[in-house]
Amino acid sequence: MSGHGRAPFILFFHPNMPMPRLRPPLRTARPFPVTLAALLAALLVMPAMPARAETPERVVNIVMEDQFRNRRETGILRGDVVVLVYSERRGAEAALALGRRLHLHFHPTAEQAPATEWSRQPVTPLAGWPAGVRTPDVHVIPVACLPEVPKALQAVARSRMRTDSPHVPVWLDFDDEMNRHFGTVAGEPNVAILDTLGRVHGVQNGHFDDLEFRELAVTVDRLRLAALGPARTAAAPASVPVRR
């Protein structure tokens, strides 16, 4: 998706399991008598089919290693909003700039913090958030998509990334996981947003101008507010929709 309004793709799972149809019994040489009462009794003891949401959102757990060979996964970040900013090599510089801008938007004290504390700064509070309740954080995670790097050279890529980013973890995607889960637009920054339950909220690609950046930030804050539940967020102002 580009910054000129092209809609992103949003991946959701739509269950479509047809209900079974009752068929009359086959005729045989020695038919088994089936009475109406017996049929009704059999139907009454059948377990009920559970109700299903029409369009349940897709929960994902993205797992990979960073440049220090530490295991990383989005599943342990549930309770917070996760923003995965990823790209292949041609879009790396733009993705880096976008990720930095997003992190500073939600963690403004990182601007003056030492590099070793960059990722540990407090998140901005939410207006109207109840006292004593933990505020959902926003994890802006840089992901380098390197599926073209052969296994024999992956150690070299890790070493280079440690030199370029000695303090901030960068997730390394050698197995094309991001493309499989969300798709990738080459040469552009790509953004996948997971809500506080680990569900895929949306995917965006391309250049973000100031308005589109503000829309993205508002959407992230709406997902943070949603952690309170619908009754507590009904009075919140309407969100600006994610580009779709």
Amino acid at position 139, single letter:
H
Q: What is the pLDDT of residue 230?
A: 65
In tens, the pLDDT along 88-132 reads 999 999 999 999 999 999 999 999 999 999 999 999 999 999 999
Q: What is the pLDDT of residue 95?
A: 97
In which residue ranges of the chain is pLDDT below 50?
1-56, 231, 233-244
Q: What is the pLDDT of residue 57?
A: 73
Domains of the chain: 63-226 (3.40.30.10)
Q: Are 81 and 199 in contact (CB under 8 A)?
A: no
- 3-state secondary structure at position 199: strand
Rounded percentage of the chain residues whose pLDDT exceeds 70 = 71
No. of helices (H) and no. of strands (E), the chain: 6, 7
Distances (CA, A) of 155 to 64, 66, 151: 15, 12, 8
